[in-house]
Structure 1
């Protein structure tokens, strides 16, 4: 006569939850294969839904390893009966008292069942042929019976984790945009008070480092979104069009060998005197043009952003003519061919092309192929979507941060 024990050994009492869990002992095992390691992986993802911890699952993994084969549904023999010493060894030396605590948690979660022997020991009675007739230990049958529930919970956990990850990435990107907009605002809207904005930004950066749930991240997302929106409105009045260098509609022929820089010569003395004086963006920037191409950047600002080009000559660069000749001199050293250089001048104008060469030289440690980089910028210039102004402003801010 075969009897399945439904009560624990010793003084441990039974309750309604214990009796309800025993129904799993006689439940039919599904016909589909139940890969034990796939079940463990799904349980790891859905452990919160089942109220178990990673340590509980480490003990469950050790228990499952005592089951022969990989498919729990291949036979009715789903009971494993390792001794405490053997189970502790499989659990990397976990103390027996800790093992008992985690085993009790797995039983409460209805992931395993106890089948205690009359004396509380774990063992199996075998036929003389070696077949197991009766085993006392831990029954893994609930894993087979609840495999669909575990799989569904894992899928939901994966989806929730993906949403959480996407939300966190969005917040990080917003904070990056916010930091750059604040830097821009501080540099160009000095009359504004940025204390509250920077304080809220620092608070958001501290919060995002924590392990937040979906509700907390959603709240933080709304706060950062509102903060970004407010900063955008504060810097909306900045005249950003002064940094654009669009080609005129009627472009004239460019003569490369003889550059006439009348406007730059006219403003050269003023640039020398203001070389170490910050230039507010709201003030009018000298307009330097050449053969139909306009460049609305002062020379001293370019030199402050790109000081490296000064080291490639015996004299200082004091005019746009000097900058063009210096750029033409160092261009072969940077691996930029004549065709690429001529194409850049045709698309951007000689002045802007010279400024771009200076900027590329300044960032030569980060630009692996200056020729390919200049070719890409030339293509953008032909489409009227490139201006060297933002490039110079970014280098200025980078230099100021390093100096600080």
Structure 2
């Protein structure tokens, strides 16, 4: 059964089956039906992506609605407007005629307006003696009235989709932040675990996310990131539980340490031979390697902590509570300085492995003192790390140089 009004276009524009199908799909408005025209326009703007419309098409539709004199679309007042291209261009913010024709075609293809072409292709109206429009040729706005309820539902769906998309992106941003900072904290504070592999998983998840993702892709990435966050939290929870189990032993160990921060018992760990212990025989190559690493790690510890702090007084401000009283607090301050100077966690971790944590902390203190003369703190630390691995690095000259610069060189010599 025929439901819509079928008409063919004027001139060279061909009549297609798709055009006929679209016209038949538009049923005649029911008698007495009316809708506020700007409400329908807002719904179309909200759902424009569903129709594949550009901003220019919306500007043209806005211009067409300004030529309809009534505030509501009403079948009784007629729904055909017949402005010229010049008038439409002015009200559509001066777009060119070629763009105007293209966007009018897009509105027709979207089923939002229909053409009512005259025999000669002009747009005009026949009026009665009383001035009432009896027949008009131009653009029929009846699809907007007929599809008003459908357009309202589409607008609500698009708005809900946009809210869901925005919330998914917000959740992903928070989850990314959590994972990134937890991994950084674990690396900086030396938590046990293969955190480099975890970081590679983090980078891999983000690498699969397109530059301009849709909601489905964002939600899929969020699911992966939440699983990774749970794994990271579980690893850290096990680490904290382990630390808690050994807390009493650590506290007992602290009780027997000398409270003097420059005590040789705290700064210079004695070897087994010095304690009178017999050591098992080791292969020569392994023994040489162990002794070399031990020598490298003990270079800082041969200097009292007080001397390091006199040579590098700036790092004291970054200690817990604004002061440093032992090596652990110096290492804590060094982590803060590392982040401030832009040294990567991996560079500092390599320095700790090569020099020992105390050595690396003292090196960061020296770098802080000379930060005005060092272009890249990270590159400088990596160079010290490589030299330390070769057994070519000694903190002594650095400390002596800084002591002299601070005016403590003569006092130290005396």
TM bracket, shorter-chain basis: 0.5 to 0.7
TM-score normalised by length of structure 1 = 0.59
8 Å contact from structure 2 (residues 37, 73) kept in 1:
yes
CA distance in 2 between partners of 1:397 and 1:84 (Å): 69
Q: Counterpart in 2 of 1:401?
A: 339
Structure 2's unaligned 5+ residue stretches are 245-254, 268-313, 343-414
For the structure 1 residues 80 and 399, does the alpha-carbon distance in structure 2 shift closer, same or farther, using more than 3 Å as the test?
A: farther
How far apart are residue 114 of structure 1 and its match?
0.1
1:304 matched to 2:318: yes
8 Å contact from structure 2 (residues 114, 143) kept in 1:
yes
Q: Counterpart in 2 of 1:77?
A: 78
Give a deviation string over 1:275-299, Cα, whole Å, max 9, x none: xxxxxxxxxxxxxxxxxxxxxxxxx
CA distance in 1 between partners of 2:241 and 2:316 (Å): 17
1:267 matched to 2:248: no
8 Å contact from structure 1 (residues 305, 399) kept in 2:
no
8 Å contact from structure 1 (residues 10, 120) kept in 2:
yes
Q: Counterpart in 1 of 2:157?
A: 156
Q: Counterpart in 2 of 1:213?
A: 214
Determine helix, strand or coil for the equivalent of 2:136.
Answer: strand
Alignment of 1:199-238 (within 5 A): 199-205=200-206, 210-238=211-239
1:42 matched to 2:34: no
For the structure 1 residues 93 and 206, does the alpha-carbon distance in structure 2 shift closer, same or farther, using more than 3 Å as the test?
A: farther
Q: Counterpart in 2 of 1:176?
A: 177
How far apart are residue 110 of structure 1 and its match?
0.9
Determine helix, strand or coil for the equivalent of 1:144.
Answer: helix
Aligned residue pair count: 279
TM-score normalised by length of structure 2 = 0.58
How far apart are residue 192 of structure 1 and its match?
3.7
8 Å contact from structure 1 (residues 9, 119) kept in 2:
yes
How far apart are residue 139 of structure 1 and its match?
0.7
For the structure 1 residues 146 and 103, does the alpha-carbon distance in structure 2 shift closer, same or farther, using more than 3 Å as the test?
A: same
Give a deviation string over 1:50-78, Cα, whole Å, max 9, x none: 34333322221222222123211274321
Q: Which has the higher helix share?
A: 2
Determine helix, strand or coil for the equivalent of 2:238.
Answer: coil
CA distance in 1 between partners of 2:70 and 2:208 (Å): 47
How far apart are residue 13 of structure 1 and its match?
2.3
For the structure 1 residues 318 and 76, does the alpha-carbon distance in structure 2 shift closer, same or farther, using more than 3 Å as the test?
A: same
Comparing 206-215 and 161-170, the one that deviates more: 206-215
How well do the aligned residues superpose, as a CA RMSD in angstroms?
3.7
Determine helix, strand or coil for the equivalent of 2:261.
Answer: helix
Determine helix, strand or coil for the equivalent of 2:67.
Answer: coil
How far apart are residue 93 of structure 1 and its match?
1.9
Alignment of 1:110-189 (within 5 A): 110-189=111-190
CA distance in 1 between partners of 2:21 and 2:40 (Å): 22
Determine helix, strand or coil for the equivalent of 1:135.
Answer: strand
Comparing 103-112 and 11-20, the one that deviates more: 11-20
Give a deviation string over 1:189-245, Cα, whole Å, max 9, x none: 3654333333343455566683322221222112212221232233233237979xx
